[in-house]
Amino acid sequence: MKKHHHTVIVLIRIFLGLIFFGAGMSKLYFEHNFPGVIGPVWLEERLAEHGLGFYARFIAGSQVVAGLMLLTQRFATLGAILTFPILLNIFMVTVSLQWQGTPYINAFLLMLNTWLLVYDYHKLKFILTDKPAELKSISLKRISLSADFIWLVAVTGILGSIPLSFVNLNMAWGLCVLMVLLIVWNQLRRKEENYRGERNIH
């Protein structure tokens, strides 16, 4: 049962990750030439009328980074933390504007995001402690700094494909796909290393 629950959590992370990644990239790419499920892609144009164009790009960029964090699984908890306020704000905007149907969709996504946070409560519970002194002895250790570096390179490449899309759209798509494949390969490589390590222990 626990294994099936973990599988469901991974699928939710991938689902929300793809939604946020596509939503952000479709807002930022040249003439919005990037597949995205949720919008609106014209957010920057509308907010720019009120001098908030840069703010709109910040929102889109945050969606991209948060989505990638969910997709990688390595930083999924941080991704779930980042997506929660974004989704909550989107939900409140759609409710305030009295959009038909959209608030229900956002409420569903918000529920999935909450599920992820509840699942990772064992990681987040330390934020709520009344005795922070007890945590000073806990040191931050990353299992593989090389995997973190590869992820950072891939994210940088994906973000770099955005300005490239205004120069050459096909090259931008190619770079983005290549970097996404790099993230997938990095994740599979780490999974295989962990599996071999567990076999050696047994």
Domain map of the chain by residue range?
1-122, 143-202
CB-based contacts of 29, cutoff 8 Å, min separation 6: 162, 165, 169, 172
pLDDT at site 195: 47
What's the rounded mean pLDDT across residues 170-193? Answer: 86
Task: Categorize the per-residue pLDDT at 1 as very low, low, confident or very high, splitting at 50, 70 and 90.
Answer: low
User: Is 21 in contact with 63 (CB distance < 8 Å)?
Assistant: yes
Burial grade of 3 (CB within 10 A; 0-12, 13-18, 19 or more) = exposed
Question: What pTM was estimated for this model as a whole?
Answer: 0.81
Residue with tokens 């120069």: 167
Given a cut of 80, whether residue 129 has pLDDT beyond it is no
Q: What angle do CA 61, 67, 70 make, to 5 degrees?
A: 145
User: At 144, is the secondary structure helix, strand, or coil?
Assistant: coil
